């Protein structure tokens, strides 16, 4: 099963797809987007929705934090 969750690299949170049993900073299947809470520009949040919807249709689950960010 695939899970979509955050991984932090310096000050940016990346939204990645992992296999369920991988650690948070383990091998990435696909990088979907990023979230940078430290800037006030329009590029604060980016996500490739085509890849996200494809993975969800294939059975991927969202983590709680990713779900909260997408809900906004």
Query: Which residue bears the tokens 């890849």?
Result: 51
- pTM metric for this prediction: 0.78
pLDDT tens-digit map of 9-68: 888 888 989 888 877 667 888 999 988 888 877 778 888 999 999 999 999 999 898 888
pLDDT tens-digit map of 55-72: 999 999 998 988 888 875
Sequence spans of domains, the chain: 2-71
How confident is the model at residue 72, as a pLDDT?
52
Choosing among 3.40.190.10, 1.10.150.530, 3.30.1360.230, 3.30.1320.10, the CATH entry for 2-71 is 3.30.1320.10
| Among the listed residues 49, 71, 57, 63, the one whose alpha carbon sits nearest the alpha carbon of residue 13 | 63
How confident is the model at residue 50, as a pLDDT?
94
């Amino acid at each position: 099963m695939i899970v979509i969750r955050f991984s932090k690299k310096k000050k940016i949170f990346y939204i990645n797809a992992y296999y369920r049993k991988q650690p948070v900073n383990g091998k990435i299947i696909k990088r979907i987007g990023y979230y940078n809470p430290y800037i006030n520009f329009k590029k604060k949040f980016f996500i490739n929705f085509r890849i996200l919807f494809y993975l969800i249709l294939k059975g991927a689950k969202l983590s709680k934090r990713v779900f909260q960010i997408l809900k906004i």
